[in-house]
Structure 1
Amino acid sequence: MDLDIVNMVLIAGGTLLIPILAFTASFLVWPAALINIYYWYWRRTLGMQVKYVNYGNYTFCYITRGRPGPKPSLLMLHGFSAHKDMWLTVVKFLPKHLHLVCVDMPGHEGTTRSALDDYTANEQVKRIHQFVESINMNKKPFHLVGTSMGGNVAGVYAAQYPADICYLTLICPAGLQYPNDSKFLKQLKESGDTQKIPLIPSTAEEMGEMLKLCSYVRFKIPRQVLQGLVDVRIPHNEFYRKLPLFLDIVGENSRYSLHEQMAKIKAPTQIIWGKQDQVLDVSGADVLSSSIPGSQVEILENCGHSVVMERPRKTAKLIVDFSSTSKDGENHKKQD
């Protein structure tokens, strides 16, 4: 082979190899980089834009796609220590014509964080209402979706601002008096140690344990990916653990917020729960359905607390079908 051709091949190969090696090396040294690139890639692929809006001196961070149209807009509220991007797995299966908004909850990710703020469910509801007003989302009723802590806030929001909501979807919501204690609640009661909360991992091993607690499906995740998932959380862990957020959520003023106000919910309501939920027991579904007239309950077999991660396609279908076919006075329970 001609020496010039050999040199060209070596140069071309080296040019391609350098960024590959650089990416691999950066992932090994900074695994969080891959996680951030992953979210960036899916936001871009799904057409979700990151935006900020202010209410006075308070800033909300959110991702959105589309504009309000004939179908109700969707506002999605995530759970404790999560963030707006957790909904991307569900967004992937939602119709592109729907107007979607996923906001970072108060104190989470890009939304304002302060040790002086009150993070009880009622105060979070006030903040979310400020956000809704800031982006003019309540010009007409919208479909509110919340999971875990976000489900607690979503339910209380629907009770306090009924005119804003046309449909309500609660996914494994917190804020109830559950007939049966979950594995997580038992651990919390037994330890009483707010420094060792399973939902606030600080090592790859603890991240793996959290995923086992939250998911029925056993994902085979490389240790480096687990480390990356932890690394993107570590900057926030001290706030979640030591400052008032977690204590406000599980304290007396928030622990049963949804339970105390669920009878006031008037919007057609959908309740989705993983049958094998170890964080918030599935018995909460009956508590809600018995107090919200016409509510529709969907119990997902072989599914844990992380419904939106374990069953994103099914979750998206249930949300869309519910808003399309919901009728007052219906009350049925389905096994999937």
Structure 2
Amino acid sequence: MDMDMLYMLLVAGGTLALPILAFLASFFLWPSTLINIYYWYWRRTLGMQVRYVDCGGYRFCYSVRGKPGTRPSILLLHGFSAHKDMWLSVVKFLPKHLHLLCVDMPGHAGTSRTCADDYSILGQVRRIHQFVESVRLNKKPFHLVGTSMGGSVAGVYAARYPAHVCGLTLICPAGLRYPTESRFLKQLQALRRAGVSEGLPLIPSTPQEMEDMLQLCSHVRFKVPQQILQGLVDVRLPHNDFYKEVFMKIVEEDSRHCLQDHMTQITAPLQVIWGKQDQVLDVSGAEVLVGALPGCEVQLLQNCGHSVVMERPRKTAKLVLDFIVAQQGLQSSSSKKQS
């Protein structure tokens, strides 16, 4: 082997080794960095662009893809202590021509966090209304999707601003009086009786607590490497005091059953998606919504927990899209009959 060939092999080996070493260093030393890179990569791959909009000194962070067209725009609201990127697994299975917006909820991720802000459900509804007006999403009725805490906010938003919403999808929504208590609600009651305010199951501060939370939220059991668990904790830990503040607000009397108090005012076509094995918010909540709004469409997913968006992203995307198409078909038929 001549020296030129040897030199080329060394250069090629070094070129390959650098990204591998960088990955290994991130995995073992800075797993939180690796997680952030992962979300950046998937946003880029799926064509989601991160944008900011300011309104009266308050800044919203959101990601967007596509432009308004014949189908309604879709606004997606994430759950407690999550962020806009949790929807990427669903976005992957939605047509690229759809106009999608995923916003960071008040105080979460890139959206402003202020000491004076109201993080109750009604307070968050007011902020989301501010966002909708700031990006002029209300120029045409849009389809609203919310999961868990975001589901409660979405439902109350649809009740309060019916002219803005042409369709509503609630995924395992909070804010109801559930006929059957979930494992999570039983844990909360036990903590209250013991007078303990720390160790809330949805606010982990150690890798073990993170693993426990993942098992609580997901029906599927999978082994997450310790380094990734540590990375997930590292990302969340600086925000845990804020998460606790929000949590205490949404379990207060005026927020705890906020969706239940407003559900009869929902006029938009309603779709309910729920994991049958949800241990956070029991699937019996679907019965409550059907009882109040008998025309709503309900899909209960077998072998699925609270994290429907993460566990069944393809199915979630198909159900939402089919519902939107069906509603548009009904509206078109109604318009033809009237003319």
Fold shared by both chains (TM-score > 0.5): yes
2:337 corresponds to: none
Question: Is the contact made by 1:266 and 1:292 (CA closer than 8 Å) also made in structure 2?
Answer: no
> Does 1:299 pair with 2:300?
yes
Q: Distance in 2 between matches of 1:201 and 1:166?
A: 37
The alpha carbon displacement at 1:221 in A equals 1.8
Do structure 1's residue 168 and structure 2's residue 168 form an aligned pair? yes
Question: Structure 2: which amino acid aligns with 1:321?
Answer: D
Aligned-pair CA distance for 1:227: 1.6
CA deviation string 1:216-267 (max 9, x = no partner): 01123212122222221112112112xx311111111100000001000000
Match of 2:215 in 1: 212
Q: Counterpart of 1:234?
A: 237
1:247 maps to: 248
Q: Which letter does structure 1 place at the counterpart of 2:41?
A: Y
Contact 2:30–2:231 (8 Å) recurs in 1: yes
What residue identity is the alignment partner of 1:33?
A: T
The 10-residue stretch of structure 1 (319-328 or 273-282) with the greater mean CA deviation from structure 2: 319-328
Whether the 8 Å CA contact 2:304–2:311 is kept in 1: the answer is yes
Whole-Å Cα distance in 2 between the matches of residues 304 and 60 of structure 1? 30
- 1:144: which partner in 2? 144
Runs (4+) of structure 1 exceeding 4 A deviation are: none
What's the counterpart of residue 335 of structure 2?
none
- Structure-2 separation of matches of 1:250 and 1:5: 68
For the residues of structure 2 that align with 1:72 and 1:285, how far apart are their CA atoms? 25
Q: Distance in 1 between matches of 2:266 and 2:15?
A: 61
The 3-state SS of whatever aligns with 2:40 is: helix
Q: Which residue of 2 aligns with 1:23?
A: 23
- Counterpart residue number, 1:281: 282
Specify the code of the residue in structure 1 equivalent to 2:59: T
TM-score (norm 2): 0.94
- Structure 1: unaligned runs, 5 residues or longer: 329-336
Given the alignment of the two structures, is residue 194 of structure 1 paired with residue 197 of structure 2, yes or no?
A: yes
What's the RMSD between the two structures over aligned residues? 1.2
Q: Tell me the distance in 1 between the aligned counterparts of 2:8 and 2:163.
A: 68
| Greater percentage in helix | 2
**Which residue is equivalent to 1:333?**
none
User: Does residue 269 of structure 1 match 2:270?
Assistant: yes
Whether the 8 Å contact between 1:216 and 1:303 is mirrored in structure 2 is: yes
- TM-score in terms of structure 1 length: 0.94
| Aligned-partner SS, 2:75 | strand
| Matching residue's letter, 2:2 | D
Letter in 2 for 1:77: L
1:87-126 matched pairs, under 5 angstroms: 87-126=87-126
CA distance in 1, matches of 2:23, 2:95: 34
Between the aligned partners of 1:277 and 1:180, the Cα distance in structure 2 is 11
- Mapping of residues 37-116 of structure 1, within 5 Å: 37-116=37-116
* Seq. identity, %: 68
The number of aligned residues is: 326
TM superposition shift of 1:278: 0.2
The answer for the alignment partner of 2:326 in structure 1 is 325
Residue ranges of structure 2 left out of the alignment (5+ in a row): 332-339
Is 1:240–1:246's contact at 8 Å kept on the other side of the alignment? Answer: yes
Deviation at 1:112, TM superposition (A): 0.7
Distance 1:271 1:204 in 2: 33
Following TM superposition, by how much is the alpha carbon of 1:31 offset from its aligned partner in structure 2, in angstroms? 0.3
Contact 1:80/1:148 (8 A) holds in 2: yes
Distance in 2, matches of 1:50 and 1:10, equals 39
Deviations 1:110-140 (A, max 9, x none): 1111222111111110100000000000001
